[in-house]
């Protein structure tokens, strides 16, 4: 999903920066970790008796408490896009983790065939020595300066953050990520922010996201965090909704939970992705407040 934006980055910065993909271990071989949600999504859509790719409450053969969390617009109909997050990793079900270098080369060739582009693909040997040397995360990015030193490290690959690092290194202006995202889905919160003088804190979550549940039950339940959140207009968006997913992509995010601070005028500020302990999240919120001042 992220490849096209990085292809745009590579094209925009040709001559000033070289971009490479490192093809390493599979994050979700055989759709690992999403079997239960995928099976639930299939079971729900299997109740679509009239073939309209939607399941009304009257068609749903199960307890109401299982229906409601996926009926995102609360119109008593579950449509295919409302189960998108439950299905997203389903695409990897038939793909087992390579166990030999030859199998990994074949997988990398398949990637390049299915997602065409010009960025060279470097292949990490089985055992992932390269990925492990750089921290072992499945979707990270690193900017290396002309002296071979790491100038920026991102646990979640982001064109926006990579290009910001390139700007710092070269003095060039933004190119690939210059277009601001459309913020229509945040209209109520932005209106409230203009009245209150607060910034908007956007929280992205996904069904079946264990880190989101842990964030909710531990970090966001912390008394200090609750007090700090009162200083923001908070918008909670689920990426299984099409419009919310579009904003998630436009903001160049890669993981849930994700938090982004946006000023009332639409200026996008600091972001945080993945689970964070209360003290780290409070540091993020404090940084966001300082950036505004």
pLDDT profile of the chain (293 residues), mean per 10: 84 94 86 65 88 90 80 80 64 80 94 89 95 88 95 88 92 73 91 95 86 93 96 92 84 90 93 93 89 59
The distance of Cα 8 from the centroid of its chain, to the nearest Å, equals: 19
Phi/psi at 18 (5° precision): -105, 135
What is the C-alpha separation between 222 and 271, in angstroms, rounded?
20
Model's pTM, two decimal places? 0.61
| Distances from the Cα of 231 to the Cα of 77, 99, 103, 218, 257, angstroms | 36, 50, 52, 20, 20
Tokens of 292: 């505004």
Phi/psi at 170 (5° precision): -110, -20
The pLDDT value given to residue 35: 62
Mean pLDDT rounded to a whole number for the chain: 87
The pLDDT value given to residue 130: 95
| Distances from the Cα of 106 to the Cα of 14, 100, 102, 285, angstroms | 28, 10, 6, 44
Tokens of 193: 């922010």
Integer-rounded Cα Rg, in Å, for the chain is 21
Q: Tell the burial category of 218 from Cβ atoms under 10 Å away from its Cβ (0-12, 13-18, 19+).
A: middle
What is the C-alpha separation between 289 and 285, in angstroms, rounded?
6
The pLDDT value given to residue 279: 96
232-238 vs 199-205, strand pairing mode: parallel
What is the C-alpha separation between 247 and 7, in angstroms, rounded?
20
The pLDDT value given to residue 234: 96
Cis peptide before 246 (omega within 30 of 0): no
Q: Which residues pair with 176 in a beta bridge?
A: none
Residues 136-182 pLDDT 10s: 887 899 999 999 999 999 888 888 889 999 999 999 887 766 666 78
What are the residue boundaries of the structural domains of the chain, listed by start? 3-25+98-170, 30-92, 184-292
| Distances from the Cα of 109 to the Cα of 1, 92, 113, 132, 164, angstroms | 17, 16, 6, 22, 30
Q: Which fold has domain 184-292?
A: Glutaredoxin (3.40.30)
Phi/psi at 272 (5° precision): -140, 135
130, 124 contact by CB (below 8 A):
yes
Torsional class of 30: left (φ above 0), alpha (ψ -120 to 50), beta (otherwise): left
In CATH, the number for domain 30-92 is: 1.10.238
Share of the chain above pLDDT 90, in %: 52
């Amino acid at each position: 999903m992220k490849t096209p934006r990085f292809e745009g980055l590579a094209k925009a910065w040709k001559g000033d920066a070289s971009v490479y993909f490192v093809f390493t271990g599979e994050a979700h071989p055989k759709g690992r970790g999403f079997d239960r949600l995928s099976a639930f999504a299939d079971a729900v859509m299997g109740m679509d008796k009239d073939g309209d790719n939607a399941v009304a409450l009257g068609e749903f053969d199960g307890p109401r408490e299982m229906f409601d969390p996926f009926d995102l617009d609360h119109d008593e109909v579950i449509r295919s896009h409302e189960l998108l997050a439950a299905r997203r990793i389903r695409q990897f079900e038939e793909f087992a983790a390579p166990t030999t270098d030859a199998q990994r080369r074949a997988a990398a060739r398949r990637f390049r065939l299915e997602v065409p582009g010009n960025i060279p693909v470097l292949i990490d040997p089985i055992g992932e020595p390269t990925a492990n040397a750089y921290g072992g995360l499945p979707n990270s990015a690193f900017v290396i300066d002309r002296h071979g030193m790491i100038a920026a490290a991102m646990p979640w690959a982001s064109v926006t953050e990579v290009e910001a690092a390139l700007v710092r290194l070269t003095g060039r202006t933004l190119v690939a990520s210059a277009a601001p995202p459309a913020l229509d889905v945040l209209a109520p919160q932005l209106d409230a922010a203009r009245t209150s003088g607060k910034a908007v804190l956007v929280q992205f979550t996904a069904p079946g996201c264990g880190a989101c549940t842990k964030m909710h039950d531990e970090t966001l339940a912390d008394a200090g965090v609750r007090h700090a959140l009162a200083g923001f207009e908070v918008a909670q968006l689920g990426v299984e909704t099409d419009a919310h997913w579009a904003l998630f992509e436009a903001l160049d995010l890669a993981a849930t939970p994700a938090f982004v601070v946006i000023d009332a005028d639409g200026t996008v500020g600091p972001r945080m992705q993945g689970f964070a302990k209360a003290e780290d999240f409070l540091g993020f919120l404090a940084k966001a407040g300082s950036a505004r001042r």
